[in-house]
Structure 1
Amino acid sequence: MRRPFQLNTAASLVAAALGPLALAVPAAAAEPPMDVVVVSGSRIEHASFDLPAAIDVVDARRIRDTQMRVNASEALAAVPGLVAQNRQNYAQDLQISSRGFGARSAFGVRGVKLIADGIPATMPDGQGQAATFNLDMAERMEVLRGPFSAIYGNHAGGTIQLFTRDGKGKPEVETSIAAGSDNARKIDINAQGEAGGIGYLIDTSRFDTDGYRAHSAATRDQAFAKLTLAPSKTSRLTISASALRQDDTQDPLGVTWATYQRDARAGETDASDTQTPRRTLAERYNTRKSIDHKQAGFAFEQRLGDDRLRATLYAGTRQVIQFQAFSRFVQTPATQSGGVVDFDRDFHGADINYVHVRQLGGGKLTTTVGVDAGYSSDERQGYENFIGTQFGLQGALRRDETDRVSSIDPYLQSEWQRDDWVASAGLRHSRMKVDVRDRYLSNGDDSGRVDFRHTTPVVGLLYKASPTLNVYASAARGFEAPTLNELFYSGAGAGFNFQLRPATSTHLETGVKAILGAHTRVNAALFQVKTDDELVVDVATGGRTSYRNAGKTLRQGGELSVDSQLGAGIDARLAVTLLRAIYDQPFGNVAQGSRLPGVPNANLFGELAWTSSSGAFGAAVETIASSKAYAEDANTEIPAPGYAVLNLRAQAKQQSGGWRFKQFVRLNNVSDHKYVGSLIIGDANKRFYEAAPGRNWMAGFSAQYAFQ
């Protein structure tokens, strides 16, 4: 008989999962325990303390200070319930999972919805790219987990919203320069201010690295611009545009356990290579990806007394060409679509909602009604990745099609507050259509279409037991449709897998939010998620992955975060996640009770930070720890072992007249611990493992001038 998960077992489970390493973890925090205002979960300004949901705010200091601001994982490590991994592979983006959702993603982010300034960084099919986030201009990130994520539609585990700062005040210009291990370097230039009632912000940056792993060099150019203005005293208009460009970003691929043990930085040797010495797969096929992403949008808000009308519109393009590590020599003619992926995407969408506030039953009722729509169209080709006997070149056409995805989601959300009670409820109907028009017919016609639809209700109740103690409970139904990439191949290798079904889930959560004394804040949550038709890896080989529906899965866990001001300029933060994620029904060779791959049982972040009384100097010690994670469903292969690493950082700032200067230095993985940073789930060639860097450093300097 399965015993229920209990929060009071947290200490013993952490100790069991992390062993003696957990004893060395310092306490932690970078932000004060005071309450913060969020918009995630309710779509209106709301004190996070009074929201019946697990939500954390990552502020500008954690995002921008003492970091190179290249990967969102740098800041998200401090959030419980979230696993954010830098794969050391800029061709495949970050690996982010929330309560286990998204851990199987072979590239990019899925299972977690990404939003930047109200504009989705997740496409209508559920696949997102965290690389499009502009961290240089970030004001905060809101991370929502659990049942209330259902109000954002087709995903299951959570929502990450990035908010950039507004241009205001006198004009300012700033230059930042940073450098680090593996010849990493970044330069950023930005300007901001306000003129004639129009706030402006413009930013451009370039990042280069040789990469920690073999064949992992990358160059990333980003640009961002934002205008804010008030057409009237009761309205606000925000216009933004962004661009991301990566040319020939090298893909190091995964490696086997034997290769990782021999040399964590090495690539996997290609056994079929005839050269002496043999080249790695990445070298022989010159695996790489080029990305050119541009988007623009505007958000308009009109206040009508206590009511509000909001409209967000956006559009963009994305071009990708990727060279993978396989060719027709290892494919049959029926399944061959080429080792080169080439697509041009146009996308656009809108979110329009109306917020109505009225008095009802002695309390305040806030109701939001709206519709969220998205559309993307890919002109997709596939080519052989060789010419003659030379690999890594674009060869003959093997695929030619148009892939269209559209979604339209009406939603309704209400919140009623009276005295010490806050009751919330929402309903969203998600409908996603996938339409494929195949023009390469020599291997058959893969044209077709499929519709996915689901209604996701959410309810929550919060009780204010005292001014410093809130307790809550919430529940929801979740919906996770297959992405385009999960539909592309069937296990047999024949065309689109139109038989793939969406996963549906039931989420339950209960939690406590407390303020202890004047200087400590505690958030704790227990949760359970039951999923039917979980989407799992079927076959992953030769650079392509197909998916299938498994049976039932079960996720049970707890999250705890503590922020405290200890005095003498010392702050502390502790974030702990315990998660039991298993297959609750056997399938194939996977036994009931097997762990979900890529999902550790326990994660921990700890930080002890000091700031001088003048604010001119600061230093901190961080600990990040994780238990082991399996690489495939049956749990028979060697898992990525658990680890704990220690990081140190220091910063300083000065001011002289209109000039402000900042410097930082950071030393990560102080003990030079060797560990697997991320996994490629279910790879048929057992090249699961992606090594994290050993001891590494970075340092940065910025100068800002404010015109008088």
Structure 2
Amino acid sequence: MIKPNRLAVLIAGAFPCLLSAAEVTLDSVVVSGSRVEHSSFDLPAAVDVVDAERIGAGQARVNVSEALAAVPGITVQNRQNYAQDLQISSRGFGARSAFGVRGIRLVADGIPASMPDGQGQAATFNLDRAERIEVMRGPMSSIYGNHAGGVIQLFTPDGKGAPSVETSLAAGSDGAWKADVSAQGEAGGVGYVLDTSRFSTDGYRQHSAATRDQSMAKLTFRPSEDGKLTLLANTFSQDAQDPLGQTWDAYRADPRSVAANALLYNTRKRIEHTQGGIAYEHRFGEQTIHLSAYAGERSVIQYQSIPRAVQLDNTGHSGGIIDFDRSFAGVSGRWSGRFGLADGQLTTTVGFDYEQSTDDRRGYENFIGTTLGVKGTLRRNEEDRVASFDQYAQAEWQGERWTFTGGLRHSRVAFRVDDAYLANGDDSGRVDYSKTTPTLAALYRLTPTVNLYASASRGFEAPTFNEMFYSSGGGSFNFGLKPSTSTHFEAGLKAYVGDDSRLDVALFEIRTEDELVVKESDNGRTAYQNAGRTLRQGIEIAVDSRWAANFTSRLAYTYLDAHYEQGFSYTTSSGATKVVEAGKSLPGVAAHALFGELAWKHPASGFHAAVEGIARSKVEVEDSNVDRAAPAYAIANLRFGVDRQYGSLKLRGFLRFDNLFDRQYVGSVVVGDGNKRYYEAAPGATWLAGVSARYSF
């Protein structure tokens, strides 16, 4: 074994530039991982911070895909379908989700945007007021509970200082526009941040128009010198047409086209979402107590394209319309303390999370007589409940050279179904899952500018209600699904290169048992099963640099080998059996992903410009890897902007061009679609322009 001192000499000889003094200006303060403020450079985990400048860098601030394109290990695909939300995956987890976010924990200002079963919606993130987004992958994310791939947390600032108001307007291709009005400041000791916006688009593809209204309010004040109280409220309302996926031939012939059924049944989705929360934090010297609670309601009605004949012929079918009203709530508490121990500092955290969600779920036929796309006969009526209760403890000891971190979390997720539609039998039932997941990590400060770390953990991912709704052969709830479990290993290097660059490298391996995969997909109904073992291995590299003449750059690369180690079989919509052999790639996952950006700013005039490049390798669309994969692609984007200050008035403007060379490519895929409509086309060359004005009183 090479001793640490000898290893330092070897690295110093190979990379002498790593030993020069570096200012900590390329570092960020994060709370992900340790749950207390922490330098990202000294955290033994792969974690990236996307700041407000990048979130709003010539963007409409509508989709989180705009902000996370530069994060290695994370793939955020815009489906060009607001009825199905973004497709977000972390090290391959979540790539299978047909809608919403699966396998990644979403949190906004401490309030989960993921439900207790693990399904989440990134669309509820308010990007207009975002101060930063923290993205953590790998073993350390298991301390956040029932998921496997990572954690994405959004934070908004506290209102402070003199009052200010801001308004912005952006417009671009395909009839897209967005207007936003906000105010922030502090009055009478109460900080406030208020924001409301409307977004509308005709959509790139036919039948993909959408309108979204979003508002938020955040109030903060200090009832005592050591206490802080925060009140949060958010609303989200959206109407969106659903263009569905495309077959390969339809995509090649006309990427803007839609399947005939989308028009016949007028596929669409309406969402109403409201939530509020309260958090209190109190410091007692080096100890802190944090308590929070939240509650909300979500209503969804979705018109699917399930053929009329299928619903009439199958008495077990639940109809072509999904209609549910959800109420959800949760409470959490944690205590953190810092103590001196053995010439170092020990930070400990103990806490709990309780979350529950109840759906009043109904299903209707999507026809009346020969009229399609209207609410017809009731075919489903039930109450679906899911609750989770987790307890966790973690500790970090930090010395002069070494940092050791350990954590333990116990998760229990309970599902219950009370069926009130008995014409096709009683589908009531319940199932509980529980798991204890440990985490261990160590970091060694090789030099003042080089940190090495290693970490390991166990992961736990329970089935979601969406994966339990159907069993094979036309049956209803599949209570026989097991949670998937995973073992994560990661090793990494974080280094400052000279005074103006930072390098982050992470190597990882993830072994999963009982991976959830499609067993049968037929006319809108998908049944799942547990497959055998899968293996994910890869490397993530990120380099941030500042150059002469006010140039900056970022490079982010991901290599991911994700494949099945055991074979399995499943049934297609035509009744055929497909065999998936060991060694086949997991669908929805690109082996290579690259992001590059070169930006320039002229401080005197406020003018800035940047060129971006994005490249991804091919993506398999189903488990057997037989059907045509979505091809590899590479695109270039260009943006310009200017920021000017005139006394109390700050003006901004930008102009953005995406896909400069008008490449036709598949932006995302619908994994395992039974109708072979796997492909979702990305736009060709598009433009977006925006202006904003902020006045401080």
Q: Which amino acid aligns with 2:410?
A: H
Q: 2:252 aligns with which of 255, 261, 266?
A: 261
Identify the residue that residue 261 of structure 2 maps to in structure 1: 281
Q: 1:302 aligns with which of 271, 282, 290?
A: 282
Cα deviation, 1:132-171, whole Å, max 9, x if unaligned, reads: 0000000000000000110000000000000011111111
TM-score, normalising length from structure 1?
0.93
Identify the residue that residue 478 of structure 1 maps to in structure 2: 459
1:181 aligns with 2:161: no
Cα deviation, 1:311-346, whole Å, max 9, x if unaligned, reads: 111000000000000144114433210000000000
1:191-590 equivalences in 2 (<5 Å): 191-247=183-239, 249-268=240-259, 280-331=260-311, 332-588=313-569, 589-590=579-580
After TM superposition, give the deviation of residue 64 of structure 1 in Å. Answer: 1.6
The separation in 2 between residues aligned to 1:328 and 1:642, in whole angstroms, is: 37
Q: In the alignment, is the contact (CA less than 8 A) between 2:605 and 2:644 conserved in 1? A: no
1:677 aligns with 2:667: yes
Q: Which amino acid aligns with 1:422?
A: T
Q: 1:65 aligns with which of 57, 64, 84?
A: 57
Task: Give the fraction of aligned pairs with identical amino acids, expressed as a percent.
Answer: 60
1:172 aligns with 2:164: yes
The separation in 2 between residues aligned to 1:334 and 1:471, in whole angstroms, is: 60
Q: Which runs of 5+ in 1 are unaligned?
A: 1-30, 269-279
Q: In the alignment, is the contact (CA less than 8 A) between 1:354 and 1:369 conserved in 2? A: yes
After TM superposition, give the deviation of residue 33 of structure 1 in Å. Answer: 5.7
Q: In the alignment, is the contact (CA less than 8 A) between 2:55 and 2:67 conserved in 1? A: yes
SS at match of 1:568: helix
1:160 aligns with 2:152: yes
SS at match of 1:259: helix
The separation in 2 between residues aligned to 1:457 and 1:581, in whole angstroms, is: 23
Q: In the alignment, is the contact (CA less than 8 A) between 1:73 and 1:85 conserved in 2? A: yes
Q: In the alignment, is the contact (CA less than 8 A) between 1:539 and 1:683 conserved in 2? A: no
The separation in 2 between residues aligned to 1:542 and 1:265, in whole angstroms, is: 23
The separation in 2 between residues aligned to 1:615 and 1:372, in whole angstroms, is: 49
The separation in 2 between residues aligned to 1:615 and 1:127, in whole angstroms, is: 46
Q: Which amino acid aligns with 2:137?
A: R
Q: In the alignment, is the contact (CA less than 8 A) between 1:32 and 1:564 conserved in 2? A: no
The separation in 1 between residues aligned to 2:667 and 2:25, in whole angstroms, is: 31
After TM superposition, give the deviation of residue 685 of structure 1 in Å. Answer: 1.0
Q: In the alignment, is the contact (CA less than 8 A) between 1:32 and 1:563 conserved in 2? A: no
Runs of 4+ in 1 over 4 A off after TM superposition: none
After TM superposition, give the deviation of residue 615 of structure 1 in Å. Answer: 6.1
Q: In the alignment, is the contact (CA less than 8 A) between 1:33 and 1:520 conserved in 2? A: no
Cα deviation, 1:75-123, whole Å, max 9, x if unaligned, reads: 1000000000000000000000000000000100010110000100000
The number of aligned residues is: 665
Q: In the alignment, is the contact (CA less than 8 A) between 1:137 and 1:165 conserved in 2? A: yes
Task: Tell me which moved more, 536-545 or 563-572.
Answer: 536-545
TM-score, normalising length from structure 2?
0.95
The separation in 2 between residues aligned to 1:50 and 1:133, in whole angstroms, is: 28
After TM superposition, give the deviation of residue 543 of structure 1 in Å. Answer: 2.1
Q: 2:68 aligns with which of 47, 64, 76?
A: 76
Does 1 or 2 have the higher relative contact order (CA < 8 Å, sep 6+)? 1
1:640 aligns with 2:630: yes
The separation in 1 between residues aligned to 2:631 and 2:257, in whole angstroms, is: 19
Q: 2:581 aligns with which of 588, 591, 606?
A: 591
Cα deviation, 1:605-662, whole Å, max 9, x if unaligned, reads: 0000001132601000000110000000000000000000000001101121211100
Q: Which amino acid aligns with 1:485?
A: N
SS at match of 1:492: helix
Q: In the alignment, is the contact (CA less than 8 A) between 1:327 and 1:384 conserved in 2? A: no
The separation in 2 between residues aligned to 1:186 and 1:683, in whole angstroms, is: 33
After TM superposition, give the deviation of residue 464 of structure 1 in Å. Answer: 0.5
SS at match of 2:256: coil
After TM superposition, give the deviation of residue 299 of structure 1 in Å. Answer: 1.2
The separation in 2 between residues aligned to 1:418 and 1:32, in whole angstroms, is: 19
Q: In the alignment, is the contact (CA less than 8 A) between 2:518 and 2:529 conserved in 1? A: yes
After TM superposition, give the deviation of residue 403 of structure 1 in Å. Answer: 0.2
Identify the residue that residue 53 of structure 1 maps to in structure 2: 45
Q: In the alignment, is the contact (CA less than 8 A) between 2:585 and 2:625 conserved in 1? A: yes
**RMSD of aligned alpha carbons:** 1.0
Q: In the alignment, is the contact (CA less than 8 A) between 1:57 and 1:142 conserved in 2? A: yes
After TM superposition, give the deviation of residue 571 of structure 1 in Å. Answer: 0.1
Cα deviation, 1:18-39, whole Å, max 9, x if unaligned, reads: xxxxxxxxxxxxx996211000
The separation in 2 between residues aligned to 1:406 and 1:397, in whole angstroms, is: 27
Q: Which amino acid aligns with 1:335?
A: G
